[in-house]
Every structure is written in C-alpha cells, then in structure tokens.
Amino acid sequence: MDELQHSGREWLCLLFYLPAQRAQARVQAWRRLQRIGAVLLANSAYALPASPEGREDFEWIKREIVGGGGQAIVLVARAPDVGTDDDVVRAFRAARSRDFEALAADAKKLLRAASQSSANRASRQVTQGVRRLRERFNEKAAIDFLGAPGRNDVAELLEKLDRLTGRTRTMDRARSDVVKTATYHDKEWITRPRPGVDRMSSAWLIRRFIDPNAHFVFGEPGSAPAAVPFDTYEAEFGHHGANCTFETLCNRFAITDPCVRHIGRIVHDIDLKETRFEEAETPTVSRIVDGLRLAHNEDDGLLRSGIDVFEALYQSLAEATRTQTKNKRSRVRPRTARRRSTRR
C-alpha cells in the first residue's frame, strides 16, 4: 500500500486502435500527439501529465480517432511504484531534451552566421532565422512539462542572437512620447506572416482605436517602405523592454480604456509565456488563437479572424463592465426621511 502512495502525480493516458487501412487517420493522430507534447509509452498508448488542458487535448484526439474509424479511451492513472513513475518522467524529459538539442545546434549555426554579418546590422536571412528559431523554441517550451535538460541553454543562445540582431533594444526616451493618432490615419501597416496573439490583437487595436481604415500586409519592412511596421524586429511599434507590441501601442497612443488594458494583460501573458496577470480568459484566448492558426493557411484570413475574436472579446468585457456599473447604481438607494416612532 505504501508503494502505491509514493506520489500524488497523476497521468492522462490515451489508448487507441486504428485499423491498418486507416493510415491517414493514424498519421493525423500521431501529428496531433506530437504537437501537444504527448509521449509514447507503448504501442498506441500515449501519456500527458494530468491537467484540464491535457484532458481536453486527448478528448479531441479521441474524437478524431473514433471519427476516423478507430477506437480510443482516455484514462487517469498513477504509476504503481517510484521506478515506473521515474521512467515516465524520464521519457518526457528525453523527448523535449532531443528537441532542445536540435534547437541549440541550429542556434549555434545562426550565431556563426550572425557574427559574420555586418557589424551594424545582421542580415535579413539571419534575422528571419532567429524569428523562426524563437517560434520553434516557444512551441517546445510550451510542452516542456517536466523541465527537460537543455532548455536554459537554448534560451541563452537566443538571448545572444537577440543582442546581435538588435532584438532586445529597449525603447529610448524620445520613443516613449505619446504620438497623435491623426498622423497614422489611412496607412498601410506591415507585420510578419503567420500572425499570432500579439499581431492579431495589435491589428485589432490599430483598426479600433488608431487607424479605422488601416490596411495590413505581411513581409519584412523593407518590402513596403511606405508601410508602418508593427511587431517586426527593430520596429518602433514592437516589443520594448518588458512590453509586448500590444502594450507598446497602448502606451504610445495613450489608450487607457480599461477593457483594452484588460486585453493587454491577456496578450502579455500569452505572448511572453508568463503568468504575471493570470486573467481568467487567458487560457481560452490562447486556445482560440492556436485553433485559428491551425484552421487558416492564408495570412489575410487568419488576421481577419483574429481581429473578429478580439472585437468580440472587447464587446463582452465592455458589456460586463456596463452591467456591473448598472448593478452597483441600482443598489444605491436615496436616503429617505426616517419615520418618527410615536409612543403610546
């Protein structure tokens, strides 16, 4: 009995079967399992650390497997002894460690290329390579559930690359001044392809509060010299200091709407992989953004859908604020004259 109580750790297990002729469904399930960080324990038996998010991921994959003509079940389990539990932990760490080793090798190649570039500015190819490498690192770090070796090494290499490419420059005093929205009307705005949470929300913010007629294009700033860059490397409207692009835009254009600031806290935690604010909507928004990126192959459609999502979120927050204010007012009653009691 003591052996069974060695640890409170729980694991989610997905067990499934797909007929041999369902090869496409098998490949699709495998790709999805890789994407969420599940580890293979035995033939068609995968595990995740127990969590609501992991359960949701497994349930979706289970539904896809069943829809593809297979069978699947999701179980919650504990290892029978310390040794087995340690084996599962090692399997997770080994999987992510291999990922981080590959990322470190690519980062070292980029460092050599960056050191050979111009002393003033890294080549566009290196800059794009750093961006793609950081996106890959963020994807793997998000599924590094148990602290795999090598993660910190990759983070340090990326910091070196950021310094070489100017990615970590902080906003100087002149750039922290508030700018007028009137000077940014009817503009073309350019950002990187495959928008994520920061670019989606920033595009919404631009169109909602800065430039109602904003037109968005994708690429490197040099490909559209007249366009206003945002969330690109070395952009005026980008990451500065501890702020993501959305927060930078709020500060530069003096947008103080409480609902916008609420959205900014959500975007900050998702984009920077932090838990500073922990707004209740953050996990849901993160899931929706991930889903949009999977559902859309075309950048314009992806950005439009993202803008719609953040408009809906803003409307919901604003309505909740109005309702809360109305309820508070209704609870405040005007004072009435106190009735005098008469003694008999």
pLDDT at 334: 54
Instruction: Give start and end residues of each alpha helix (H) in the chain.
Output: 23-36, 52-67, 82-115, 124-142, 151-165, 197-205, 245-252, 258-271, 282-295, 299-331
pLDDT at 120: 43
pLDDT at 137: 87
Q: Tell me the sheet residues that pair with 216.
A: 189
| Per-residue model confidence as pLDDT tens digits over 91-132 | 999 999 999 999 999 999 988 887 776 544 456 677 778 878
| Per-residue model confidence as pLDDT tens digits over 181-201 | 989 999 999 999 999 999 999
Contact predicate 49/145, CB 8 Å: yes
To the nearest 10 degrees (0 to 180), the angle between helices 124-142 and 151-165 is: 150
- DSSP code string of 143-169: T-TT--TTHHHHHHHHHHHHHHHTTTP
pLDDT at 205: 98
Low-confidence ranges of the chain (pLDDT < 70): 1-8, 117-124, 166-177, 233-234, 241, 331-344
Q: What are phi and psi of 43, to 5 degrees?
A: -55, 115
Contact predicate 127/176, CB 8 Å: no
